[in-house]
Amino acid sequence: MPRNGTRKSTISNYDDYVFGKNIDADLAILLREGAERLPKFNSELVERAFRFCVEAHEKDVRATGEPYYTHPLQVALIVIREIPLDDISVIAALLHDVVEDTSYSLHDIHMEFGSEVADIVDGATKISDVFKSREISAAENYRKLLLSLVNDVRVILIKFADRLHNMRTIDGLSPEKQARMARETMEIYAPFAHRFGLGDIKWELEDLSFKVLNAEAYNDIKQKLNLTREEREEFIERFSTPIAAKLTEHGLKFEVNGRPKHLFSIYKKMVAQGKTLEDLYDLFAVRIILDTADNNDCFLAYGIVSEIYHPVPERFKNYISLAKKNGYQSLHTTVISNDGKRVEVQIRTRSMHDYAEKGVAAHFRYKAQAGATASWIDSTDLEEWANWVRDIFDNAGEEAAEQLLESFKLNLYQDEIYVFTPKGELRILPRSATPIDFAFDIHSMVGARCIGAKVNGRIVPLDHTLQTGDQVEILTSKNQTPNRAWERIAITHKAKTHIRRILNEDRRSQIVAGRDLWERRTKKIGLHLNEDDLEKILVSLKYENKSDFYLALGSASLTPEAASDLIIEQASPKSLVPVEQTPSFTFNKFSEAARDNSNGIYLVGDNIPSAKVMFSYARCCNPVPGDNVVGIVTIGSGIKVHRKSCNNVVELQDKLRDRLVELAWSKKQTTSFLSAVKITGDDRSGMLNDITTSVMSVQDTNIRGINIDAFDSMFEGILTVYVTNTEHLDKIFEKLRRIKGVKTVERFEG
């Protein structure tokens, strides 16, 4: 029982009054409650909103059989009693279902009650839509999502009140709907309310959900607690009397009360400890609430309690010096009573208690500078802001509270976006994230095999910037691997880390393979060269180190035969002792062509051993067997193979004339060549899937990558594929041109 005659926080449900019987009587209760509890209350505007609500829902009836207007009315009353902000909150609570459930529009609300009320109603409607259309898998994700969708904290508070009243009247629903709502409340709303510090609302939501989900355990605990109520009250009186006397001696003003823990809390403790209700020692907590502004008085009270009763040291918690993340502050201790029972004692100031019961309405730092807006920085700001706001609401006048509410606009986690998988699973990514980031967030293998993406059903390139609310589908290919460009596209640490790891693993494997090829080649020709001499020669050949040299061999951009010839040509006679003498050559001393060269290309002319020449294929035009080709002699990179029609060759032909060599394709082809295809067409659902399916159906073609951009109703993309020759490429072109909506298909240069 309370001592010292101070106030006690309770939730009033008006159990003796039945709403819906008399509209004017209902309105009178609303106006009286608002005027008594809120510092600023426009009765005329609230009455107009109430009558608007009654008229809008005139034909609607709740599942319980009551007139529908009784629901928004009681939501408004919960807002007044439990989260008292202002009359705008009350008006928005009265109207929160109007747009969703009646013929009235948001424009009607705006014209009748102004933009502020309309914005809150709009936010409440959006949250309802999220529930209907999205599968929310985690309470923390849901919290962030809600706050990212609304501009005013009062939207969230109205949603709490809405859910609380729905849970209080849940008996009118079918058992299936009751169970679904109770699970949703337990998993989402209760933790969410806890995060806001709304202690009373959180506990009631948990108990109401517990009553539905496990009625047998709920009723058993409730019955046993009722049977021991008188005994418990007598114990609290005996326990509190010496504490109260000592506190009074020290001149402290206080309230001491005790109440049983909430039913669900007791049940969780029974399950966790494997005990029956009778075996639990801390079924209730004794609270000492001090009417003081000095936090040190709490420690004084703790010292007094510890002098009277023996404390249990390991059960002491100092949440005043180190508040919980939701801003909760209190001292907790467990002591042994005179009859040997363990009793939990909570010691806090009045402001701490009010905050623990009612909580704060948001999680952001208010910028006090003139004209500044509220912004979210990080979670470390909660405690500071929470205490400041609680003080404003409890102690400041109308002007300060009004100024604060005008700045209640949210910009939560402004560096985050909220996107969804095709199945509605929520993913939280940094702002400016791309489909590459999304793919790696799903799974590293999905990221590694990503060849394209569809956002909201439309094809987008891999560097497309995602936005909050986007639905993203990742398309994959088992033949895809990341490339260096992905590192620049990705912005998340997870994606970049996986891309680098995969690229480094590929590089290491190619280096190992290249080293093995080099060792076999030197063994075959009997070439002996020490490591220092090899290093010097490679530097002269423009390789930074041996790893780059081995990488060239392992990636097939340099053949072992060409490598050994280059090394022998550069080496001094003293540095090597080959058993087989291989004739030296330079690019202007050509010999007979090897037409079955495994490189796929050979030099046309006399005395040119192509197997001893290093070839590489130009990426600007991606030549493949069947193309008319020409070679450009380069320094350190051998001969670069271009298509004769390549723009780079045509434009620079006069300057390159002395370095051009005639080339032809070998008749024996054992490798695939990279080619790029430019494709344009109508941006429709399923287009990307049709493109990839058509390409892979041609001789099991491997796709290297797809980069597609959509604008208006059209798309344009570059498709890179591995082909054996131009005939293979022509078949791909033919397949692509048959796809519905495809406009153009052509070779890509660039």
The DSSP bridge pattern shows strands 660-665 and 254-260 to be unpaired
Tokens 């790891």, residue located? 501
Spell out a b/e string for 523-550, using b for 16 or more CB atoms within 10 Å of the CB, else e: eebebebeeebbeebbeebebeebbebb
The tokens of 220 are what? Answer: 């058993």
Fold of 416-491: Ubiquitin-like (UB roll) (3.10.20)
Residue type, 389: V
Output b/e per residue, 692-721; b: 16+ Cβ within 10 A: bebbbebeebbbbbbbbebeeeebbbbbbb
d(CA 665, CA 602): 6
Helix (H, G, I), strand (E, B) or coil at 539: helix
pLDDT value of residue 29: 93
DSSP result, 149-160: H-SBHHHHHHHH
Q: What is d(CA 329, CA 351) in angstroms, rounded to the nearest whole number?
A: 10
Instruction: Answer yes or no: same fold for 23-212 and 416-491.
Output: no
Non-local (6+) Cβ contacts of 544 within 8 A are none
> Fold for domain 223-358?
Beta Polymerase; domain 2 (3.30.460)
Residue at token pair 């009553």: 211
Amino acid at 115: S
Residue 253 in tokens: 């003003």
Which residue carries 């608007």 as its tokens?
Answer: 52
What CATH number was assigned to the domain covering residues 23-212? 1.10.3210.10
Measured between alpha carbons, how far is 428 from 535 in angstroms, rounded to an integer? Answer: 49
Q: Give pLDDT tens digits for 685-716.
A: 778 888 888 888 888 788 888 888 777 678 88
Confidence (pLDDT) at 604: 62
pLDDT at 648: 76
Which two tokens mark 347?
């010691």
Q: How far is CA 134 from the centre of its chain?
A: 14
Name the active-site residue from 36, 55, 100, 734: 100
In total, the chain counts a number of residues equal to 750
- What are the structure tokens assigned to 132, written together? 């209907």
- Residue 321 C-alpha from the chain's centroid: 32
- Distance set, CA 724 to CA 627, 665, 696, 730 (Å): 11, 12, 14, 11
* Ramachandran quadrant class, 388 (left: phi over 0; alpha: psi -120 to 50; beta: rest): alpha
Q: Cα dihedral sign for 71, 73, 76, 80?
A: negative
Boundaries of every domain in the chain:
23-212, 223-358, 416-491, 585-666, 673-747
* DSSP class of 701: P
Closest CA to 76 of 100, 98, 58, 101: 98
Query: How much is the CA Rg of the chain, to the nearest whole Å?
Result: 38
pLDDT of residue 670: 66
Concatenating the DSSP letter of every residue in 207-221 gives: HHHHHHHTHHHHHHH
The parts of the chain modelled with pLDDT lower than 70 are 1-16, 126-153, 195-197, 281-282, 324-327, 358-416, 569, 571-613, 635-637, 654-655, 668-670, 712, 750
Q: Which of 47, 101, 516, 749 is catalytic?
A: 101
100 is catalytic: yes
- Token pair 């293998």 is at which residue? 445
How far apart CA 673 and CA 693 sit, in angstroms, is 20
Within the chain, what is the greatest distance between any pair of CA atoms?
115
What stretch of H or E contains 493?
helix 493-525
- For tokens 């009765």, the residue is 43
At residue 326, the pLDDT reads 59
Separation in Å, CA 183 to CA 186, 205, 600, 609: 5, 11, 66, 77
Architecture label for domain 673-747: 2-Layer Sandwich (3.30)
749 is catalytic: no
Retrieve residue 626's tokens.
């069947």
Tell me how far apart the alpha carbons of residues 641 and 630 are, in angstroms, rounded to a whole number.
6
Question: 491-541, pLDDT tens digit by residue?
Answer: 887 788 788 888 888 888 888 888 888 888 888 877 777 777 787 788 777
Residues 127, 159: contact at Cβ < 8 Å? Answer: yes
Nearest CA-CA partner of 685 in 507, 346, 404, 455: 455
